[in-house]
Structure 1
Amino acid sequence: MIDKLLPPPIAVSEAFNDRPLSDMFPEERAAVARAVPVRQHEFGTVRACARAALAEFGIAPAPLLPGPDRAPRWPDGLVGAMTHCTGYRAAAVARATDFASVGLDAEPHQPVKDAGVVDLVTLPEEREQLSRLRAAQPDVHWDRLIFSAKESVYKAWYPLTGRWLDFEQAHLTLDPTNATFAARLLVEGPRVDGARITTFHGRWLVASGLVVTAITVPR
């Protein structure tokens, strides 16, 4: 699926079934030793996906551990993103000379049941947009899509800034005609190669009971 959103030179790997816990490195098993089995499996499988993507750049298998901020620590010279949800794990990796950052998120293609959550993660203008999109194309769960897109925004933002980005600090516009979205930052964006980022651009896909969103920040 994600190969449709993130073509080469970005390496991608995905899984629809979990790998055995024994496939994890001891350091990885220790990192989630106190977690419930579901968390252990998703942690291990998504790292297996990441290693498969890293192998395309000649990186030998090694533990992929989270840093103090819980973000994955990638080998020098590479950037990437991981995502997991029920029934799906995926990772994307790119050379830092080609891309400054990658954002990736997957969610079950189901409506967000709690309206309060939608209000929490969207701006009033975005909720108006969701109403229009639902009326025009009711087969897409737009509330889940915008949530996923904002998750991808954060994953693209954080490696560039090391700072939190609240849901209300980016205004999303979803384009159903070409399955793209734009996230206009409502706070000062990071600089990449001397240029200030004001908007992240991404793509989305609904298939196989999932909604997947992805952002790239090219050099």
Structure 2
Amino acid sequence: MKYEIPKLLKEHENLIKGTFRYSNEISFKREETKPYESKLGGCPYLENNLDYPIGENGKPMLFLAQINLADLENLVELPEKGLLQFFVTNDDLYGLEDPIFVRYIESYIENEELLVKEHPYGNEEYIMNLPFSHSGKMYFKSREMPMSSSLDLFQETFMDKLSEEEYEKLSEDCYSSDSRIGGYPYFVQNDYIGFDDDDFLLLQLDIDDECGIMFGDSGNCVFSIPKDALKNRDFSKVVYDWQSC
């Protein structure tokens, strides 16, 4: 649903609308997924067990999510097809201080007989380290959203142009939690990564009851990439952060 400018902020309508971005809001269902579908956890698309990434600590990395890009709408910065896979280091900090791995698979096969069917490392220890209790299928809904009030850029954009009352109202309206691709991230504490106009939100995973998503104490995670790097399909430039209360 598109953000409707309230009466209090009508005189700033053009300024606010100038920050609008499309996002694809994610909902989750505890459903079985095909190897190439958009999913939270489970088994990623693998043609061979040897394709599964191992972290610098020698452990199999945690597979958080896979996005089938054909499922998304209005996100012109992304490739039109292919898969994006998100892995973080397997430790009790969900890889916060260690290298991450985002893999782009431009083309994939759909013959499931030729693909890995079960997670090659999905043992009890691995499952215990995941920031969610259930895997599931992702569903997407496109919408336009204004800039998130948790960004440093929000303060830079609006602080000097709005009255205190107006600024407080817009800040409340632009509380952009929930899981999404595109649009703007929400930071539980601070915008440590300095997300700005030149960045793209590749993935935000937020608290979800259906699949039990939670990073730390009521936290979420953000994967961001510079738009130039995204244009060049250079996913080594992805920045990852998670925060909790």
Comparing both chains, which one has the higher relative contact order based on Cα–Cα distances under 8 Å and sequence gaps of 6 or more?
A: 2
TM-score, normalised on structure 2? 0.28
- Which structure has the larger Rg? 2
More helix by share: 1
More strand by share: 1
TM-score, normalised on structure 1? 0.30
